[in-house]
Amino acid sequence: MDGLLLVDKPSDWTSMDVCAHLRGVLHERHIGHTGTLDPNATGLLVVLTGKGTKAAKYLENDTKEYVARLRLGLRTDTQDIWGTHLTESTVSVSREDLEAVLPRFRGPILQMPPMYSAIKRHGQKLYEIARRGGEVEREPRPITIHRLELLAPDESGDWVLSVTCSKGTYIRTLCADIGDTLGCGGCMSALRRVRCGDFTIDEAHTLEEIRSAPEAYILPLDHVRPEVNASE
């Protein structure tokens, strides 16, 4: 089956778990995705199947949009709430305080990739080094935050951010950096991807839906670009 699937990734699944599962569902060996979501994140995962994997070059640099939750006052080793808690403090940050620092993170910026990431150093993934208690020097990387807006806080008191950004942006690092700028620390408490390029979460389907009728949800490659086809 050649084409693409728009999957609403559940939490506790890695992006590669989703691809491995779909290989069995579709009986197709060649399956890949166009942008990793962390295991605890949910939302839009664009999956390419069969000869459709050749279309990855048209999609991997697409702008992404997320809804993230920011918890202030908590620092962790993974920059999200699922990591080891390093420091925790009471916070008295107003909406005005938070709004005042957000402009520093809009536009082209440099971001230090986290140790808990799949970036490789000397053939090893950084998270493998971090899990052994190690840390290596990293270089900040250029990214672009096209849009960063503060929404209403959720019922837990965490702040909700709407972020549109370039490939390579770590939202949990953005949350941690915002917390550090405010002087209280912070981390990401939830993440949902709602758009990849021209595709939105409203078009995505759960794994349960796809399992029930897999062929019904595979889109042809002209949804990527009209001139792309499986024979390319």
- List active site positions: 38
Cα(113)–Cα(172) distance, integer angstroms? 10
| 3-class SS string, 117-164 | CCCEECCEEHHHHHHCCCCCCCCCEEEEEEEEEECCCCCCCCEEEEEE
Q: Which residues contact 85 (CB under 8 A, 6 or more apart)?
A: 74, 75, 76
Note whether 174 and 183 are within 8 A (CB): no
SS3 string, 70-84, reads: EEECEEECCCECCCC
Alpha-carbon span 76 to 80, nearest angstrom: 6
Q: Is the dihedral of CA 181, 184, 185, 186 positive or negative?
A: negative
Contacts of 53 (CB under 8 A, 6+ apart): 30, 31, 32
Per-residue b or e along 65-84, where b marks 16 or more CB atoms closer than 10 Å to that residue's CB: bbbbbbbbbbbbbbbbbebe
Cα four-point dihedral sign 110, 116, 118, 124 = positive
